[in-house]
Amino acid sequence: MGGRYRLGVPALGLVVSLALAACSGAAATAATPTKAPTADATAPTETAAATDAPLVTDAPLPDPCKLLTQDEADTLAGVKLGAVLPEGSPTTNCVWPAPTTGSVAQVEVGVGDGAKKFLDIDKDTLGHTFAPVSGLGDEAWQESDTIFVRTGNLWFSLHLVKLDASPNDQPNMVTLAKTILSRIGK
């Protein structure tokens, strides 16, 4: 073979796995939300303790499928959605799927590390535009189709997928985020 090296599939897999592990560790430490400048004095303020604190708590995560009712999900989407589908073990995400006919819409609620990671990816990696939401939890951020809220060390997200978005969707999402927050008990 004239001095060429060949990696077998298992060896190549090990090299790729080690490289991905090294990259993901660096990305996880670098992903910290940054606050966009704002003139709103009532906007949430971030402290190093709040954003750098571990998300793990002694309390179990709330069941995201119980944080929103079917009627609330249907109302936000503007269509009758399918029955809720829990995801994860333990459940950390719930999806109210699009109907099989008619308008396309879907609602999702996530809790815990996944909700925080969703925020980090949208904000830091994808560069989405966010606005702080005052008076909601300890920290809240909203983009066009998602709202992220932190209460203590717990993050949750409310995500709306909708082809025919309405200007009322964002205020409705804030209202539902307040409802979710009250059901979490914080």
pLDDT for the residue 49: 40
Longest dimension (CA), the chain: 69
Structural domain range at position 131: 49-184
Provide the number of structural domains found in the chain.
1
pLDDT for the residue 185: 84
pLDDT for the residue 10: 36
Residue 5 maps to a domain: no
pLDDT for the residue 25: 43
Residue 71 maps to a domain: yes
pLDDT for the residue 102: 82
Residue 16 maps to a domain: no
Residue 116 maps to a domain: yes
Q: What does the DSSP assignment read for 28-76?
A: HHH----PPP-S-TTS----HHHHHS-S--SSPPP-GGGSS-HHHHHHH
Distances from the Cα of 88 to the Cαs of 3, 110, 157, 172, in angstroms?
Answer: 48, 10, 15, 27
Entry pTM: 0.69
Residue 129 maps to a domain: yes
Q: What is the CATH number of the domain that holds 134?
A: 3.40.1000
Residue 25 maps to a domain: no
Residue 90 maps to a domain: yes
Local mean pLDDT, 10-residue blocks, the chain (186 residues) = 38 34 40 42 42 55 96 95 94 94 92 96 94 96 96 97 85 96 88
Alpha helices in the chain (DSSP H): 9-30, 48-52, 70-77, 113-120, 169-184
Name the 3-class secondary structure at 7: coil
Residue 141 maps to a domain: yes
pLDDT for the residue 165: 78
